[in-house]
Amino acid sequence: MSDEDRQRRRRLAIGLCVLTVLLLAAGLAAGSEGWSIGALIDLLHGPDAALIIGQIRAPRTLGAWLTGALLGLAGATAQGLFRNPLADPYLLGSASGASLGVVLVLAAASLAGHGISLATADALSRVGLVVAAFAGALIGVLTTLSLAKGAQQTTRLLLAGVVVGVVLGAIGDLVTTAAPDALRGKQAFLLGSTGFLGWGSCFALAIGLLLALPLALRLARGLDALTLGEDTARSLGLALPKLRMALVAALALATGLAVSQAGLIAFVGLVSPHLVRRFAPAPHGYTLVASAAIGGTLLLMADVLARSLIAPQELPVGVLTAVLGGAYLLWLLHRRGAA
């Protein structure tokens, strides 16, 4: 590795650390009246500091970073697995599976006054949308693996993911047709939100990141070998089916947890690896960690903007990430086309 590469990676790491600290402070200062350091200082000296900052803003801010980190890690893993810069964390049916799980719970709850007893409706409510989304995401990935007959061929796996996504999405649409009351909840889930993240969510997201990141790092050399082609990777002694299955497991864990806690947040997982390759191209070991850090920073930035731009109202954070990420990719395509 050249000195220039080391410097670029060092600059990226320092820049991300500084930006993350500033955004964490901004997240604590962003409230119903917009973003204000003065209001934060006044709040810290008031009687409601423990409630508003300790129980609302702090877990939401930290949870937004952790969710973005999981999506960034999942995006880098997906792009390495499929060797495609357009791959995103939702390719294997996790998004449509999570959406279907949420819709089924909402539809069942809406039928409480139409033949289902209140006790049954309460039992369904206790299951929770978070559990339903996570279970749905895993079921979507498992269905994709079953349809693709494992992870032996990435092309078959990719096509199976597209088919599963379309089918599960259509089933979700049929459910909302039969139970229209579930449509609003489904729309909120599809737009993404960090407003419901609490300390319990932060704990679950942190555990998921601590499990998925070491697993992905352990497989980073395999991803490096895959960039040279499957034949070369086999000649190096890699068991490609086992490698792909482990990568799918890390991808499913990271995506399922992020989606279950914050809904479908677009472009964070897709854009983060692109930013790493632009500012500090490196082997997958560094790219995975840097993509997670950039994903957390991007989503935290979008969360602060969502709370501040039209305060006291909030914008859906998924809309902001789609606008910002889409604008960046369009600019990147235009720049490469001009070159």
Tell me what the mean pLDDT of segment 244-261 comes to: 91
Distance (Å, whole) CA 72 – CA 53: 27
Q: At what angle do helices 94-110 and 129-147 cross, to 10 degrees?
A: 140
C-alpha 257 chain-centroid distance: 8
- The candidate with the shortest Cα–Cα distance to 300, out of 64, 69, 74, is 64
Give 106-139 pLDDT, tens digit per residue.
887 776 555 444 455 444 554 577 888 899 999 9
Q: What is the pLDDT of residue 165?
A: 92
pLDDT at 313: 83
Can you give the pLDDT at residue 300? 94
| pTM of the predicted protein model | 0.90
| Rounded percentage of the chain residues whose pLDDT exceeds 90 | 35
Contact call for residues 270 and 292 (beta carbons, < 8 A)? no
Catalogue the E-assigned strands of the chain: 30-31, 34-35
Q: 3-class DSSP state for residue 35?
A: strand
Q: What are phi and psi of 42, to 5 degrees?
A: -65, -40
Residue 151's pLDDT is 75
Residue found under tokens 């500084």: 18
Total residues found in the chain within this entry: 339
Task: Reduce the DSSP state of residue 30 to 3 states and report it.
Answer: strand
* Mean per-residue pLDDT, 320-324: 87
pLDDT digits (tens, 9 = 90+) for 19-68: 999 999 888 887 766 666 655 665 656 666 667 777 888 899 999 999 99
Residue 49: per-residue pLDDT = 64
Mean per-residue pLDDT, 199-225: 92
pLDDT of 50 reads 67
Half-sphere exposure of 2 (CA within 13 A, CB side): 5
Give the highest mean pLDDT range of 47-61, 158-172, 303-317, 323-337. Answer: 158-172
Q: Which pair of tokens denotes residue 162?
A: 């597209």
- Give the tens place of pLDDT for each residue, 197-206: 889 999 999 9
Report d(CA 111, CA 132) in Å as an integer: 17
User: What structural domains and CATH numbers belong to the chain?
Assistant: 3-338 (1.10.3470.10)
Gyration radius from the chain CA atoms: 21
Which structure tokens are listed for 4? 């220039």
Q: Average pLDDT over the chain, rounded to whole?
A: 84
**Cβ atoms 72, 296 nearer than 8 A:** yes
Token pair for 81:
């697995």
Q: How confident is the model at residue 314 (pLDDT cuts 50, 70, 90)?
A: confident
Contacts of 9 (CB under 8 A, 6+ apart): 280, 282, 286, 290
Instruction: Give the bridge partners for 137, in sequence order.
Output: none
Higher pLDDT, 339 or 283: 283
pLDDT (average), residues 239-259: 89
Instruction: Give residue-wise pLDDT tens across range 281-309.
Output: 889 999 999 999 999 999 999 999 998 88
* Cα-based angle 296, 265, 193 (whole degrees, multiple of 5): 90
Identify the pLDDT of residue 190: 84
**Tens digits of per-residue pLDDT, 68-100?**
999 999 999 999 988 888 888 998 999 899 999
**Which pLDDT score is estimated for 327?**
84
* Mean pLDDT to the nearest integer, 162-185: 87
